[in-house]
Amino acid sequence: MDPANISELMRASAADAVHFAEEQQITTLDYSISSLADVELLLIPLRSDSINDKMLFTLSYMFGAYMGEIFIQNYGGHWFHQEEQGGEPPQTFVIRDPYSYAFPGIVYQYLINNEQYSLVDYFQKIHQQYS
């Protein structure tokens, strides 16, 4: 996928996350690092063993895009889409050399591994790398 297209797609997906939060009448997301706590609160009731795959993928992608856009605004970097390779599904990352961050995958893990992941903690660890 063309880099400009993936960037545009991820910005649109992040905007979808903002609209989703507004529709749920839970919070207004403002692309600040502190808004990640609001994302966690929004997603907590959606964490479930019974969440269907389509909703899991949609939420992971939207809120992963939102996290990625926050990262890019604060630390730079760019989106990169990797097509399916060796049986692995396609993945989308933010790359800021020498690191890459699979934010949609992090949100996915947050949704399926209830107590083991924190989006806020993950982002704080990233912040420490760039401070």
Q: pLDDT tens per residue, the chain (131 residues)?
A: 676 799 999 999 999 999 999 998 778 899 999 999 999 999 988 887 678 889 999 999 999 999 999 999 999 999 998 877 777 777 899 999 889 999 999 999 999 876 677 999 999 999 888 87
- What pLDDT, on a 0 to 100 scale, did the predictor assign at position 1? 63
pTM (two decimals): 0.91
Q: How many domains does the chain have?
A: 1
CATH number, domain with residue 8: 1.20.120.1090
pLDDT in tens, 6-19: 999 999 999 999 99
pLDDT in tens, 50-68: 788 899 999 999 999 999 9
* CA dihedral sign, ordered 128, 42, 22, 63: positive
> How deeply is 75 buried, as exposed, middle or buried, from its count of CB atoms within 10 A (0-12, 13-18, 19+)?
middle
Mean pLDDT of the chain: 89
- Residue 116, domain extent: 3-130
Phi, psi of 99 (to 5 degrees): -110, 160
